[in-house]
Every structure is written in structure tokens, then in C-alpha cells.
Amino acid sequence: MPFFDLGERGRIRTCDPRLKRALLYHLSYAPSPISNLTHFPHESRSWNAGPSLQRSWRDDGIRHECCGADDLLPPNAVHSARMRSSRLVLATLMLALGAIFLPAFVQAKKKPELPTVRWTAGTPGCTFERGQDGMLRWTMSDKDVDMTLLVDSQELSKSKHRLAYRLLAVYLAVKYKGPGKLDFPADLRMDFIRHHEVVEGFEDPLELQNRLQNDVDTQVFETERQIKKHPALKEQKTALLREYEKESAELIEFLTTKYLEPATLNPGNPEVHGWVFFATKNKWIGPWKEHEDFLLGVSMKDKVWQFPFSLPPAPEDLILRKPPE
């Protein structure tokens, strides 16, 4: 094989293909006709004892080794091509496996939906009452359970004044009439229909108490800082702090004594009742609209009890509150 068919005459710098650099390639290796490279395999980057390794002599009498045509390619180009091919194969394999196993995984994780029973006016077992105390009462009954929802007709305005939390309050009473026992999990969720149907779980009483106590501590620290900065406002700031502490203590006591809790009902202990709060101060719900629609869901072991209601009441449902005696 002619010497000049294998690239630069005896090399100028190095025969080691791993030291080649793309920007310095033309400084070290002279170009070769493409027709002279077709008989060399491009799959291997290794040195071979056959045609890909030739020995030649320069005029200075020093022997130089010449690499095969595959080694004339920039090594980063060969490596990048192989990496792209490997990544494409791996990505295709992952997509195929995902398409096979993902539906089965999602189906296994998805909980079966419970059947629902919804309060509907005029349906047997569903009643509505307007009390003189300003409370609206919805009752729904089946063979073993009576469930009653109470909501203050002025709840929208009252919720704005529960400190800075804007808590929506409802009262629920559950009465068991069966001979055995019934586990009541106290699992309630509120659907805010006019706010993109956002669904909120009820406030955990212990977490809410801790949050209240932390806010009181923060308010005390801030008040002391303001008094040090403006001593003339001491009396005003102290009065505001005392009022805040009083409202927080009342709400904490309310959560401790009147909040709805899980229970096991039986003939000896047939009823459970209490208040439940729902947080409404978030970016998804926003300020109250002029008319609000809600859907309360009470999850039991075998089904979900649903109570739809609206606030404020319709004109025909307006209630003249009986003044306290």
C-alpha cells in the first residue's frame, strides 16, 4: 500500500488518537482522499495488527507508526454519535416500559370511589327547617343513621371576623339507630362550587390550636417591639394585644370542647355532634361572592353523605331571629 495513502507523511506530532483535538486536528494530520478510507472498519477505535497499522521510514531514518483511517476521525465526534444512539435506545425502552406498566400502577393506587347519597328536597328521609335562632337545618336519614347539618344564615359575614383565618363553621350531628356499632371517622370535605369547585378538608383542631398559639407569641413579640420603638403608643398597643389574646383563648377553648371528633357509636352511645371549621383564606377561594354555593361531603365506611346548601339564604328562606331573652 503506498505510503501517501495513509495520511500525513510519517506524522508530525503524535500517533496517539486519544490526544487528538478537533481544533488542532489539521495541525497534526494532513487530509487523505476519501476513497482511501473506505476499506477501513469504522466500528473499532482500537489498534489492529493488520492494515490499520503501517510502519514507514522518513528521510531522517526514524521509524514512525501510522494509524488506520478510523483514527483519522476526531474522537469526540465518534463518541458523541455513539452516545446519542445509546440515549435514543434507552429513551425508547423507558417509554415502552412506561406505557406498559403505568396504567396498571395508577389503577392499583387509585382508591375505589364510594357511592354517594345527596340531600334532595322532597325526597323521603330529607327534611329542611328554618329555626328562630337563625340556624338552617338539613336532615337526611336512612335505616340506621340520622345525620343533621346546621349552618348559621349569617355565616359568610361571621367567618370574616374569626381573627385572621376566615374560618367557615358548620355543625354536624350524627345519630345511630342500629343494634350493633358504627364507626364515625369525622372525615368531612367542603366543595366551594363558585370558586372553581375547590375542595377543602376540615381544619385539624390540634394543628389549628398550635397555629393560634404561635400567632399569639408572634403578636406579643411584635407589640413589645413597637412599644420600645414608640413608647407613647404603649397603652394603645397593649389594649389591642389583650383583645387579640382574649379572642385566641376563646377560640382555643372552643376547639378543645366543641369540635367534632371521631367516635364509635352503639346503643349505649348513639350520638356524636360538634362544630367543624374549613379554611377559606387562600388564593384559590379568594373573597366571598355575593351568593355562595357549597357541597358538604361526610365520608362513612360504606358511602358519602352529601349536603348541598347556599349562603345567604334565598329571600323566601329569610329568618327573623328571635331576640335573646
pLDDT beyond 70 at 133: yes
Q: pLDDT of 184-207, one tens digit each? A: 999 999 999 999 889 999 999 999
Average pLDDT value for residue range 25-29: 51
| Choice between 41 and 127, residue whose per-residue pLDDT is larger | 127
Q: pLDDT of 94-111, one tens digit each? A: 887 777 766 655 554 555
Per-residue confidence (pLDDT) for residue 54, from 0 to 100: 43
Global confidence as pTM: 0.63
Residue whose entry in the numeric block shows the C-alpha cell 350493633: 180
Average pLDDT value for residue range 68-97: 64
Inter-residue contact 8 to 30 (CB < 8 Å): yes
Average pLDDT value for residue range 29-43: 47
Per-residue confidence (pLDDT) for residue 264, from 0 to 100: 96
Average pLDDT value for residue range 113-130: 93
| Long-range contacts at 32-35 (CB < 8 A, ≥ 24 apart) | 32/5, 32/6, 32/7, 32/69, 32/72, 33/5
Residue 144 pLDDT class (50, 70, 90 cuts): very high
Residue 63 pLDDT class (50, 70, 90 cuts): very low
Q: What is the C-alpha separation between 36 and 48, in angstroms, rounded?
A: 17
